[in-house]
């Protein structure tokens, strides 16, 4: 007859199982996408070589990699304005979106006046408004920045509104029973429970910010990855187009990862148990 494991042994087994689970998750999260990417790139390389596809139509991944190495200084020179303007647009859209969502959630009058009009403007295709921004703001940085903020603003507002309404009803009743002020309820209950939704909107906003800046660069810029892609397309430099797109993807992934890291740190510090 076997004896049941001691508490220490059971705890050690649980820790080992947790370590194995984390390792499996790490392998699944890193190796799986890398393997899929390697398969896609290998198939791409083989198709280009087997079909003898001209480089002007579809260059092989090895040719794109060679262009990345050869043109790296040029790509970095154009990546800086795109990344910096995207970050600036993201910050402005985030601050403005959260502030407007707080005002809407805190006042029925503000919600009735602002929310329907905001939804109306959201239904308008954003690219159709780009010429108006060009007329109003000219061809400088102001146009690209404003257009990117306009695109990224709405997801932050909606996500923040959703989060501010997610506080449990029993917590709100407890706050009323303790005679907490509206400010105390907001800072200690509503905002901590809203943080996951807010960061979900911020992740969308950082992506939209990059899209808005690149669209603006297609129209007005003399620098930036969007401008470089447009210039390369006019000269049929397909390798340069794909190399610039790779750098643009890397910039987007880096900014998205920064938001994800900030989410982990903020939720760990201020989430009050919403996310462990």
> Which CATH number do you get for residue 215?
1.10.3720.10
> Is residue 74 domain-shared with residue 199, that is, in the same domain?
yes
**Is the pLDDT reported for residue 149 higher than 90?**
yes
Residue 275 lies in a domain: no
29 or 158, higher pLDDT: 158
Residue range 17-27, pLDDT digits in tens: 767 777 766 66
With bands split at pLDDT 50, 70 and 90, how would you rate the model's confidence at 267? confident
> Is residue 218 domain-shared with residue 143, that is, in the same domain?
yes
**Is the pLDDT reported for residue 72 higher than 90?**
yes
Please give the mean pLDDT across all residues of the chain.
Answer: 85
User: In Å, how far from its chain's centre is CA 119?
Assistant: 21
Instruction: Report yes or no: 157 and 95 within 8 Å, Cβ to Cβ.
Output: no
> Is residue 96 domain-shared with residue 140, that is, in the same domain?
yes
With bands split at pLDDT 50, 70 and 90, how would you rate the model's confidence at 253? very high
> Is residue 226 domain-shared with residue 133, that is, in the same domain?
yes
- State the total domains in the chain: 2
> Is residue 13 domain-shared with residue 122, that is, in the same domain?
no
Tokens 């007859």, residue?
Answer: 1
Q: What is the rounded average pLDDT of the residues 89-113? A: 89
pTM, rounded to two decimals: 0.83
What is the span of the domain harbouring residue 109?
61-270
Rounded to a whole number, what is the largest CA-CA distance in the chain?
Answer: 86
**How high is the pLDDT of residue 5?**
56
Handedness of CA 185, 190, 195, 199 (dihedral sign): negative
């Amino acid at each position: 007859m076997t004896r049941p494991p001691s508490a220490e042994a059971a705890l050690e087994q649980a820790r080992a199982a947790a370590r194995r689970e984390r390792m499996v998750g790490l392998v699944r999260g890193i190796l799986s996408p890398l393997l899929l990417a390697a398969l896609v790139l290998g198939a791409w390389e083989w198709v280009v070589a087997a079909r003898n596809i001209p480089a002007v139509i579809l260059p092989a991944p090895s040719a794109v990699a060679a262009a990345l190495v050869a043109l790296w200084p040029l790509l970095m020179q154009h990546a800086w304005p795109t990344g910096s303007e995207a970050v600036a647009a993201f910050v402005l859209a985030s601050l403005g979106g959260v502030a407007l969502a707080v005002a809407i959630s805190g006042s029925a009058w503000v919600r009735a006046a602002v929310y329907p009009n905001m939804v109306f403007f959201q239904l308008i295709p954003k690219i159709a408004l780009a010429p108006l921004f060009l007329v109003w703001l000219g061809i400088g940085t102001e146009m690209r920045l404003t257009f990117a903020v306009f695109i990224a603003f709405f997801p932050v507002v909606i996500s923040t509104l959703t989060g501010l309404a997610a506080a449990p009803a029993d917590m709100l009743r407890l706050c009323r029973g303790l005679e907490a002020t509206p400010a105390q309820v907001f800072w200690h209950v509503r905002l901590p429970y809203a943080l996951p939704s807010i960061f979900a909107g911020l992740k969308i906003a950082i992506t939209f910010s990059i899209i808005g800046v690149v669209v603006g660069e297609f129209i007005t810029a003399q620098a930036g990855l969007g401008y470089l892609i447009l210039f390369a397309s006019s000269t049929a430099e397909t390798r340069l187009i794909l190399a610039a797109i790779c750098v643009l993807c890397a910039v987007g992934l880096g900014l998205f990862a920064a938001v994800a890291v900030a989410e982990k740190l903020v939720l760990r510090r201020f989430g009050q148990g919403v996310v462990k």
